[in-house]
Amino acid sequence: MPGKKQTEKAVPSQDKILEIGFEHAIFFDPAQLDFRQDVRDMCTADKCHMYDRCWVCPPACGDVSKSVEKAKKFKKAVMMQTTRQLEDSFDIETMMEAAESHKKRFSQAVDLMRGYDPDCLPMGAGGCNLCRKCTYPDEPCRFPDKAFTSMEAYGLFVAAECKKAGLEYNYGPNTLTYSSCILFND
Ligand code: SF4
């Protein structure tokens, strides 16, 4: 069909997303996403030491108006979460495992959704650690299809977006949750 860029496959179900290993997943309307300059400004404060050091982080990933431009092309979205119970607030091992697992799971989810809509828009969690040293700003990104800008860098306040989508952000004392989403079209 002219203009139809998606494959003829059915949209992956919530169960299919959960089969990847995520503890939680939900489909939601991306029109409710609220891209905020004040959230983006937290990146500029550089608490994570990634500002102006990586292709997927600000300022290279574009400003908030670009986030809005990109997102408004999409009619559907799915959010997915990795949650871990920590032994205590010093349980660094579980924190690192959670971050690593979430990145691997999200990459699989993006592959799955790209099988349905090759032009889908992934919004990840945290910076990119695919390369030992990022090529930014001297050379192009080595893996542009695998490096994802985070929800926060797009200007999204993740706790609020989880609630609006119908998921928790905090699953109780000493839990840690990573959240990411993918915007797509039928
Ligand atoms: S894939 Fe490599 S070059 Fe690209 S953003 Fe990530 S670390 Fe940088």
**Backbone angle region of 78, left / alpha / beta, with phi > 0 → left and psi within -120 to 50 → alpha:** beta
DSSP at 158: H
The dihedral through the CA atoms of 98, 100, 101, 102 has a sign that is positive
Residue nearest to atom 2 of ligand 1 (CA): 131
DSSP at 24: E
For 17-68, the pLDDT digits (tens) are: 999 999 999 999 999 999 999 999 999 888 889 999 999 999 999 999 999 9
Supply the pLDDT for residue 7: 56
Query: What's the predicted TM-score (pTM) here?
Result: 0.94
Residue nearest to atom 4 of ligand 1 (CA): 141
Ligand 1, pocket-test mutation among 49, 53, 56, 107, most atoms within 8 A of CB? 56
Contact residues for 4 (Cβ-Cβ < 8 A; gap 6+): none
137 lines ligand 1 (CB under 6 A): no
